[in-house]
């Protein structure tokens, strides 16, 4: 029971295909207590049954672009739990129009939205939850290859993930003296809600099967298992790191 007595706060479960769902399942299997965020009433209907299924102790409404909602969430968690040991940020959004065509055509508003939801929100959460986290706490976020290399159509999300990965390093430096670690998992492509309707997604999946060392795509469970490592004392010496869970795709050259 690697996560026995640990309290895990999970942002970004939309349904049972979400990467955050795979993470939550593994956390539960290793004995953690769970709390889930949702965004607005329509998603509450989806998240509540998942929380029940996984024995969640708390669900709360939190749009990560709203500082008041983040503060309210922290208050709710403080009253119920008094502390947080694990914080999972599995949240991203860009306008669909900005995930096709040329990056050069991204509008100022589209850029701001993608960076706000997908990158700044990690800093906002760390800032507000800092006082609830003690030495040994672990923060993690989800990134993608498109942060480091161009991926056709990923566009403004690639720029947002680059900002997210740099934020992980700066947050690791700020929170390190308090014994709080901050890392990212760079996951290979997985068919989730956020991947639905992406033109060329099937081609990306088959490219990975063909080129990645493991000759397969990764699953939510693969990511969940790596998240247990990052959440637990097994990773006590690791912070500011981007860990690839991508069947090895990123290491392949010509
Ligand atoms: P998903 O659609 O299941 O999860 C995305 C989540 O973001 C949803 O739960 C949604 O409610 C939440 N969200 C969006 N805007 C929000 C806001 N303003 N406030 C709070 N929450 C908000 O899809 P997923 O693929 O599980 O994505 C989770 C994370 O994994 C994202 O950061 C994504 O970029 C990353 N990722 C996904 C893949 C992939 O191929 N699916 C690969 C690598 C990384
Ligand atoms: O990070 C992601 C997905 C992020 C995402 C997806 C959507 C689709 C629906 C952010 N915002 C939205 N907005 C919507 O309206 N991934 C890593 C999955 C993904 O998305 C791609 C990919 C891959 C891989 C988009 C283009 C090209 C490849």
2-11 pLDDT, tens digit each:
999 999 999 9
Whether residue 197 is predicted with pLDDT greater than 90 in this model: the reply is: no
Could you tell me if residue 83 is inside a domain? yes
Kindly report the CATH number assigned to the domain that includes residue 91. 3.40.50.720
Could you tell me if residue 1 is inside a domain? no
- Please tell me the total count of domains within the chain: 1
Could you tell me if residue 252 is inside a domain? no
Mean pLDDT, rounded, of the chain: 98
- pLDDT-based confidence at residue 186 (cuts at 50, 70, 90): very high
Could you tell me if residue 55 is inside a domain? yes
- pLDDT-based confidence at residue 27 (cuts at 50, 70, 90): very high
How many Å apart are CA 254 and CA 175, to the nearest integer?
A: 39
Whether residue 177 is predicted with pLDDT greater than 90 in this model: the reply is: yes
pLDDT tens track for 115-172: 999 999 999 999 999 999 999 999 999 999 999 999 999 999 999 999 999 999 999 9
Q: 59 alpha carbon to ligand 2 midpoint, in Å?
A: 25
Q: Would you call 145 a catalytic residue per the annotation?
A: no
Any ligand 1 atom below 6 A from CB of 27: no
Q: Would you call 38 a catalytic residue per the annotation?
A: no
- pLDDT-based confidence at residue 85 (cuts at 50, 70, 90): very high
Could you tell me if residue 36 is inside a domain? yes
Whether residue 192 is predicted with pLDDT greater than 90 in this model: the reply is: yes
**What pLDDT sits at residue 239?**
99
pLDDT tens track for 40-50: 999 999 999 99
The ligand 1 atom nearest the CA atom of 91: 7
Q: Best of 144, 200, 203 to mutate for ligand 2, by most ligand atoms within 8 A of CB?
A: 144
Any ligand 1 atom below 6 A from CB of 185: no
pLDDT tens track for 204-230: 999 999 999 999 999 999 999 999 999
pLDDT tens track for 56-81: 999 999 999 999 999 999 999 999 99
Any ligand 1 atom below 6 A from CB of 247: no
- The string over 132-166, giving b where at least 16 C-beta atoms fall within 10 Å of a residue's C-beta and e elsewhere, is bbeeebbbbbbbbbbbbeebebbbbbbbbbbbbbe
Whether residue 174 is predicted with pLDDT greater than 90 in this model: the reply is: yes
Domain boundaries, position 171: 7-247
3-state per-residue secondary structure call for 121-173: HHHHHHHHHHHHEEEEEEEEEEECHHHCCCCCCCHHHHHHHHHHHHHHHHHHH
Could you tell me if residue 67 is inside a domain? yes
**What pLDDT sits at residue 58?**
97
Could you tell me if residue 254 is inside a domain? no
Q: What is the pTM of this model?
A: 0.99
Q: 202 alpha carbon to ligand 1 midpoint, in Å?
A: 18
Q: 215 alpha carbon to ligand 1 midpoint, in Å?
A: 25
Could you tell me if residue 2 is inside a domain? no
Any ligand 2 atom below 6 A from CB of 154: yes
| Mean pLDDT calculated for residue range 167-196 | 98
- Of 21, 38, 144, 145, which one is the catalytic site residue? 144
| Mean pLDDT calculated for residue range 174-187 | 98
**What pLDDT sits at residue 108?**
98
**What pLDDT sits at residue 165?**
99
**What pLDDT sits at residue 121?**
99
Q: 171 alpha carbon to ligand 1 midpoint, in Å?
A: 20
């Amino acid at each position: 029971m690697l996560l026995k007595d640990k309290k895990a706060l999970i942002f970004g479960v939309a349904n049972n295909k979400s990467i955050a769902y795979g993470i939550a399942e593994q956390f539960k299997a290793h004995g953690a207590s769970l709390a889930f965020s949702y965004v607005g009433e329509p998603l509450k209907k989806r998240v509540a049954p998942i929380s029940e299924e996984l024995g969640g102790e708390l669900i709360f409404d939190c749009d990560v672009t709203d500082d008041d909602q983040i503060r309210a969430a922290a208050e709710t968690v403080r009253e119920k739990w008094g502390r947080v040991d694990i914080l999972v940020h599995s949240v991203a959004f860009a306008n669909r129009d900005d995930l096709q065509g040329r990056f050069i055509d991204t509008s100022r508003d589209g850029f701001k939205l993608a960076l706000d939801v997908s990158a700044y929100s990690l800093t906002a959460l760390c800032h507000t939850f800092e006082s609830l986290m003690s030495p040994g706490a672990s923060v993690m976020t989800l990134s993608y290859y498109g942060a480091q290399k161009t991926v056709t159509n990923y566009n403004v999300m690639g720029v947002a993930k680059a900002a997210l990965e740099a934020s992980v390093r700066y947050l690791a430096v700020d929170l390190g003296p308090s014994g709080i670690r901050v890392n990212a998992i760079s996951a290979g492509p997985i068919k989730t809600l956020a991947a639905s309707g992406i033109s060329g997604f099937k081609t990306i999946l088959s490219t990975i099967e063909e080129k990645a060392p493991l000759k397969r795509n990764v699953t939510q469970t693969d990511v969940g298992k790596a998240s247990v490592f990052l959440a637990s004392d097994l990773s006590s010496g690791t912070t500011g790191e981007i860990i690839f869970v991508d069947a090895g795709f990123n290491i392949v050259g010509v």
